[in-house]
Structure 1
Amino acid sequence: MNVIEHGNTGATESLVEEYDLVVLGSGEAGKYLAWALAPEGKRVAVIERQYVGGSCPNIACLPSKNVIHSAKIASYFRRGAEFGLPVVDAPVDMAAVRARKRAMVAGLVEMHQHKFRTSGAELVMGNGTFVAPRTITVSLHGGGTRTLRGASVVISTGSRARVDDTPGLREAAPLTHIEALELDATPEHLIVLGGGYVGLELAQAFRRLGSAVTVVERNYALIHREDPDVTAAVTELFRDEGIEVVTGTRVEAVEGRSGAGVRLSVCRAGGRTLIEGTHLLVAGGRTPNTDGIGLETTGVAVEPSGHVRVDERLRATAPGVWAVGDCAGSPHFTHVALDDFRVVRDDLVGRGRVTTGRQVPFCLFTDPELARVGLSEREARERGTGYRLAKIPMEAVLRTRTLSETRGFLKALIGADDRVLGFAAFGPGAGELLAPVQVVMAAGLPYTALRDMILTHPTLSEGLGVLFGVVPSRA
């Protein structure tokens, strides 16, 4: 239903369109809410300023894995002699790599648009700004404005790469993951600021695509929150591939411009030195997209970090408003945002699903992959949680020998009650090994459920039987 309302001055009139649900941002949680409620007869609108379907299918998860796979194929060509094939070390056609990625993205966008059309949810393309509680005015890309008010409103605006205030950094116009995935030529020497997920995935990919690469990390280890054996294994992988790893290093100033040449003044171990390259990629964290969207007009509180303040049901501080995904401070994974959708969906119908105590798996898509769920050894020690450690090298998983991919290990933490407290895999297909372990953990089954299962030979999952077969006895 449409209603006419007068502004505060009484001089202008604006048409306010009423909806059951209005979602600001078409990312994972928001789009699934729209697709779930619209077929039930609810009037639903999703406002999106640029990327239909959010960052995952357009500029983040799936595009990056597409380019990473191209880099893996390039590495196979250089290893040709190992497989009885000619060695090919020709330059990579980055324009073709980009074209393959773009074609995938176009297909994903069309899939999302089809889903909006068939679900009955309205997709409104434009820049949305809150102008009153649960009321958003959209500057439409095609011209004009619309004002939408929802009985329920969900904020799903995501996050963006953080560029800090290091002198000269912004002026250097550094790449973020967005621009890096759009390059049509291989950087001669790429400097990556940040040793986390994004930085490591792209560092290895560009090294395999032909760039010299230097990773600069302020902490004293890559992915420094992980266990020492994990960080050591990843660092060894990078150095074996010819990537320079510089840890415990603070960037004090940047000169030049990414693409034309950059020079970093850095402090390391009390001394100062220079790091030079042709391109600069920032991968040092994320900033929530909550600024400039008018939240001050809504009664929605924002944390000092910029995240929308939410409770365990993702309710914001204003009635009828929820926030989901990155902008709500949820772990920055698409699969967590999908669960945020479930939390809000259930809350809308009075069910009790919450975000507390969630099982949050993750996978770092280097080659080989690093995947983990549950407690790490570091976390178990910090909590004072006792555990038994089972650990095997990946070469004990016989499938890896057929692939010539034996680097890495599997390990698991087992509690006194024989339940699995945590699991980590560094090796080929590590991410695919998470699900069976997660099922056992979620069901509260003992580790012996995996140990005694008949697992197909020779598969990577067979390694779970090997791993859980070496769990130390309680004694």
Structure 2
Amino acid sequence: MPTSYDALIIGSGQAGNPLATALAKAGRKVAIVEKYLLGGSCINYGCSPVKAMLASAERVYQVATAQEYGVHSSSPTVDFKAIIARKDTIIQEMRDGIRKNLTKEHSGITLLHGHAVFTGPKSVRVTAPDGQTHDLKAPLIFINTGTESAIPPIEGLTDNHFLTNKSILDLQELPEHLLILGGGYIGLEFGQMFRRFGSRVTIIEHATQLLEREDDDVCEAMQEQLGADGVEFVLGAEVKRVSRNEAGTYTLTAHTSDGERRLRGSHLLVAVGRKPNTYDLGLEAAGIEINEKGYILVNERLQTNVRGVYALGDVHPGPQFTHLSYDDYRVVRDNIIHRKRRSAKDRPLPYVVFTQPQLGRIGLSEKQAQEQKLDYRVATMPVQYVGRARETGHTEGFMKVLVDAHNHIIGATIFSEQGGEIMSMIQLAMTGKITCDQLQNMVFAHPTWAESLNNLFAKLEKAG
């Protein structure tokens, strides 16, 4: 007979783990099934490991530029294996913390390692690594299986070993020349990182600009900054073929506006997008609907078309960010446990690209405001005007905010040192309905990055 639980969670991600804890605290009997590593993509091959390695790249840059601050030192020497080891230590501590939380700190949670497949609307079969199977059933099932790298249909690509955002984290030797297929935030973060470690880096992008969802001025500033670091770009390139010779050198044959180009490198990272981990869950046995890309369809309360089955995190359509996955947990928690109506619809979408400078974004871009034909004013200010920027030497980038007819902020783009933190301040102001006039005249401590808001909002002008 199947083992019965009050709730079954498939996937140990940033929504599934806290949900298991909350349900157990509420007296529910919970099973959580993980096929790979505890913590999901964020901890294992997303935010945490990448940001740990970016911190090492930032230290390299600080040493390399120390002379500009009157500090003399030898050129930095990168111990790449030590960088990877530091990252691994940080991540293992996080995994251990999750395991302790799920298995020791909360009774009522059963943790199973294995692959879960639906056998019916409320039943799942889990196949453990040793081949044993466990049949489980529950009135509430939550799918939190995330995404994996999408692989484009390029001739020769699947025949040759290439790197993904997961496997690149386990390299033990620094690439001589890293080719990156994709100019999104994953490609940009890895590009600047490995360039600062000492690799030659070339980013190849199908579109004619980076970060397709951003305004043109943002894309140009980002390309200029990474270009100053030595990252090379090939934009508007349609890669037709990938090959690799006996020496291990990759050759990418691409069509560009300047004709056919052959790009060669020692390593190839494919970072062109993500696809949902839904293909092997047996969703058809449960009657769970998906869209044409394989994402599980949900309503604003994250319910699928099958009663009692929910999809959380990146596995359903929409922006793919850890903080939204965690908010999915809050939506479900409040609706099920606290009996409060809470919706995943129309929530704010803050995000940060962790290059240096950081790109912090909240609300509407100028392009979106124009598409919606909104009446708005815009203020743009180079970061070099900020006193804190000149004092610290971080003068690259710019800030841009959009304000509606009622003097409320509707969007902000902060491409600056501490851009994510400054953006978060603006998000707080947006949530609290603080007007641009109030921010322009607010007393901030001097000299701080926050003080830049005084001068930024003083530059508001009518758009267009």
- Name the TM-score class by shorter chain: over 0.9
Q: What is the CA–CA distance in structure 1 between the aligned matches of 2:73 and 2:233, rounded to whole Å? A: 27
Structure 2 counterpart of 1:50? 36
User: What is the deviation of 1:257?
Assistant: 6.8
Q: CA deviation at 1:224?
A: 2.2
Could you tell me whether the CA contact under 8 Å between 2:63 and 2:76 is conserved in 1? no
Q: CA deviation at 1:88?
A: 3.2
Calculate the TM-score normalised by the size of structure 1.
0.94
1:160 equivalenced with 2:148 (yes/no): yes
Is 1:289 equivalent to 2:255 in the alignment?
A: no
Are residues 1:416 and 2:416 paired? no
Where 2:329 maps in the other structure, the secondary structure is helix
Matches of 2:330 and 2:438 in 1, distance apart? 29
RMSD: 1.6
Equivalence for 2:244 = 256
Q: 2: distance between equivalents of 1:352 and 1:430?
A: 33
Residue 442 of structure 2 contacts residue 454 of structure 2 at CA under 8 Å; is this kept in 1? Answer: yes
Partner of 1:63: 49
Which of these residues, 117, 121, 128, is aligned with residue 140 of structure 1? 128
Q: Give the TM-score, by structure 2 length.
A: 0.96
Q: Which residue of 1 aligns with 2:359?
A: 370
Distance 1:45 1:463, change over 3 A: same
* Range moving further from structure 2, 257-266 or 165-174: 257-266
1:449 alignment partner, one of 434, 438, 443: 438
Amino acid at match of 1:118: E
Query: Residues 165-314 of structure 1: matches in 2 within 5 Å?
Result: 165-256=153-244, 260-269=248-257, 271-314=259-302
Query: Closer, same or farther in 2 for the Cα pair 1:76/1:257, shift >3 Å?
Result: farther
Partner-residue secondary structure (3-state), 1:28? coil
Q: In structure 2, what is the equivalent of residue 118 of structure 1?
A: 105
What stretches of structure 1 of length at least 5 have no aligned partner?
5-15
SS at match of 1:220: coil
In the alignment, the residues of structure 2 paired with residue 44 and residue 374 of structure 1 have an alpha-carbon distance, to the nearest angstrom, of: 37
Asked whether the equivalents of residues 258 and 279 of structure 1 are also in contact (C-alpha less than 8 Å), the reply is no
Mark the runs of 5 or more structure 2 residues left unpaired by the alignment: none
Residue among 82, 85, 88 paired with 1:99: 85
SS of match in other structure, 2:96: helix
Q: Which residue of 2 aligns with 1:76?
A: 62
**Cα pair 2:52 2:87 within 8 Å, conserved:** yes
Counterpart amino acid of residue 119 in structure 1: H
Task: Give, in angstroms, the shift of residue 54 of structure 1.
Answer: 0.9
CA distance in 1, matches of 2:433, 2:349: 16
1:232 Cα shift? Answer: 0.6
Write the distance in 1 (CA, Å) between the matches of 2:384 and 2:259.
41
Q: What's the CA shift for 1:355?
A: 1.6
1:359 and 2:311 are equivalent in the alignment: no
Structure 2 CA distance, aligned partners of 1:47 and 1:224? 36
Q: Distance in 2 between matches of 1:428 and 1:451?
A: 20
**After TM superposition, where is structure 1 displaced by more than 6 Å over at least 4 residues in a row?**
none
Contact 2:178 / 2:201 at 8 angstroms: preserved in 1?
yes
Cα 1:293–1:169 change in 2 (3 A) is same
1:67-97 per-residue CA deviation (whole Å, 9 max, x = no partner) reads 0110111111211211223343354111000
